[in-house]
Structures are given as structure tokens and as C-alpha cells.
Amino acid sequence: MDTIIDPTKSQTTMVTARQTQTIEQINLDNLAHNFKVFKSRLEPSTRTLALVKADGYGTGALEVSRRLVQCGVDYLAVAAVDEGLPLRNALGPRVPIIVLNPNMSDHEAMFNINLEPEVYSIEQARILIHDLQRYRPESFRDMPYPIHVKIDSGMHRLGFTLDQLPDLLDLLAHNQVLRPVSVFTHLSVADDASEDEYTRMQLAYFGQCADLLQSAYPDRHLLRHALNTSGTMRFTSSQMDMVRLGIGLYGIRTVFDGSEDSLLPVASVRSVIISIKEWDAGTTIGYGRRGKLTRHSRVATIPIGYADGYDRHYGCGAAQMWVAGTLCPTVGNVCMDAVMIDITDAPATVAVGDEVEVFGAHVPIETLAQARGTIPYEVLTSVSPRVARVYV
């Protein structure tokens, strides 16, 4: 690969050149495979909802959604109306899309593209009803708008508690413009076996709330759903009418009992070596002289830095990259646009222009997350937009 940037070329060309050096490769076949892994664990009648919030956990909501719709996913969910707009445009009117955190100022746009809001508080429900009367196109005025009622069973973030539900029922009965399609809750510790009692409490509490809401709609079944990825794996018998799959679809494990070992990583970040130098023991590398070589070393420079999402905590040997079959640790601090790695133990044939894996099949996201003191979700969602997404 030609890694030399011609200074006479335009800024755009330079960005393009950079983007061909460090890319995030998204394997949509692995995504489809992961979807099937989950499907095979569920009853055939259980629906699936795919979380494509935060641009599909950073992997590209549009491409991911297209593929999952082909695979037969029933629902999509985004966090904000802005995130739903390109999906609605690309996927057409039929795929139901839930908005988990509808911004009240986006209601008009939300109605226009038929996104289905989560309803999580009485105040929000009131504003929704008010805005429906104001903004709903004339032709849809008399049709009740689909909503999804969120129950707070123990996360204590958003949602109705049991004692708040009668107010909601009252509001819904007096304003027949909202039609609850589903009732759901979100588990806080589904991945933690030591907290299973709490999860069972959440599920039981949710059941009570769902029964109460359902009793107001005797002639129509409201879909019930509670399980995220780890819930689906660990509390499969509570799948109810639908499960909500996020991180597992992207091939990242949340439980380590072997049940998720067949998931395949969807995202991998690759870069190239743009420079190699040999230094004697005692030489220091990078800002702050934090990388002190303890032996004669070959050090390679990789064009990925903290501005690309390669967190500064990965520096000074905390993380490794895969180079020609060898795990090579970082040396010194991560820079904004680059990082140095020690390739002394890699084959001597490794040369400028060779590919390195930043994360993927050989450098699990889970390992990087540990190096940074966070969870894989954050590693996956923090690959910056400067890193071009390439779909295979």
C-alpha cells in the first residue's frame, strides 16, 4: 500500500489517504450469523428487536439494519429521532422503528416518519398527546399512534412504576390517540450471576405491571419484552413475546459460560505500519518520554491515535496489536493521530506498509476494554467517524 501523502495534494486527498490506512472493517455475514445464533435459541414465535442506536454500536446503523431486516428481524430501535430518519428513508415505511429517548422537540419529525416512541413518564405522555393533536397529518388524525410503554422494574432510569400506572391508564382512556403496542422493561444485571435474585425480582415486578396495563386492553394482546443480549442468553425462559438484541449481534460476549462462544466479531479495526526504526536500549519513545526501551528494539509507528478512539489508556504496553502472527505491545503514550508499537518479537520480514490488527479476531474487544477499565460497548462505540467503515 502506498502510504506516502503528497503535500501538494488537497486536504480531501489527505483525509482519504489516511482513511485507507486505518479502517474499521464490518463483516455483515458475521452479523447475520450472530442473529441466527440468537434465533436458534428462541421459540420460533418470539420476535426480535435489534438495537441500532449510536449508529449501530458504531458499526453503521444503515448497513447493519438493512442486513438484519433481510435476516427477518421484526423491530429496530434507535435512541433518538435523528438516528431513525436515515433508516426510515432507506428501509421504507414498513419496518417498525422504536425511539427509546424521543426528544420532545422532535415530535413533529417523529410523527412524519412514523417512528414509535417509548413512553416512560406521565409528563412525556401528556406532551405526546398534545403534540399529536397539533402536528399529526390530517389524514392520520383519527388513528391512534403506536407507543411502547416502559416499566421501571429496577434500573431506576426511565419508566413507570406500578403505582404510577393508574395515572397512565387514566390518561390513555381519556385520550384515545395513543395505542400501546408493547410493554417492556430493561434489566440492570442480567449478565451477573451473583445478582440473579434481583433479575428475577425485576421480571416478576414487570409481570405485575404488564398485567395491569394489559387489563385495560381486553381485546388486544400487548407485546411483552424484557431481555437484552445477556438476558436472552441467561433467562431464555423469560423471552415472552420479543427479545431486544444489542451487543451480542455485534459479536461481543457478555457472559463467559461458553453459551456465547459461537458469536463472531463483526467489527475489526485495521491499520498499517507507516514507519519502522531500530533503537538501542535506554532510548525513550513518544510524548513525555514514557516509553523507555529495555532492550535493542524495532519500533513501528501506526496511524491511529486517541482522536480515532484509540484510547490513551492503551499506551505504555497496556494494549497490543496483532502483526504477522505476533502480539506487539504499544510503547509510550498514545498520540492524537498515531501510536508506536514494539515489533521486536514479530518476524524480521515485517515492513512498512504491512497491515496490523488493532482489534478483531486476534485482539478481542473484550481485552481492550479491560486495558481501558471499561466495557466492550464503549470500545465499540468510540471508534471515531474519522475511521472509515468498510463493509464485507
Ligand X SMILES: *Cc1c(COP(=O)(O)O)cnc(C)c1O
53 catalytic residue (yes or no): yes
Residue nearest to ligand X (CB): 246
Choose the catalytic residue: 53, 306, 310, 377: 53
The residue (of 178 and 252) whose beta carbon lies closer to ligand X is: 252
Q: How far apart are CA 111 and CA 68, in angstroms?
A: 24
The residue (of 245 and 356) whose beta carbon lies closer to ligand X is: 245
Q: How far is the CB of 261 from ligand X (least distance, A)?
A: 17
Length of the chain in residues, anyone? Answer: 392
User: What residues make contact with ligand X under the rule CB under 6 A?
Assistant: 51, 100, 186, 228-229, 244-248
Q: How far is the CB of 226 from ligand X (least distance, A)?
A: 9
Helices marked H in the chain — which ranges? Answer: 11-21, 28-41, 53-57, 61-71, 81-91, 107-112, 122-135, 165-174, 196-215, 229-234, 365-372, 376-381
Q: How far is the CB of 51 from ligand X (least distance, A)?
A: 4
Choose the catalytic residue: 36, 277, 287, 292: 287
287 catalytic residue (yes or no): yes
Reduced DSSP (H G I as helix, E B as strand, rest coil) percent helix, strand, coil of the chain, to 5: 40, 25, 40
The residue (of 27 and 230) whose beta carbon lies closer to ligand X is: 230
The SS3 assignment for 209 reads helix
Q: How far is the CB of 263 from ligand X (least distance, A)?
A: 12
Q: How far is the CB of 54 from ligand X (least distance, A)?
A: 9
Closest CA to 358 of 57, 55, 24: 24
Positive or negative CA dihedral for 308, 310, 316, 319? negative
Burial of 169-188, coded b for 16+ CB within 10 Å and e otherwise, reads: bebbeebebbebbbbbbbbb
The residue (of 180 and 305) whose beta carbon lies closer to ligand X is: 180
The residue (of 107 and 186) whose beta carbon lies closer to ligand X is: 186
Catalytic residue annotation = 53, 287
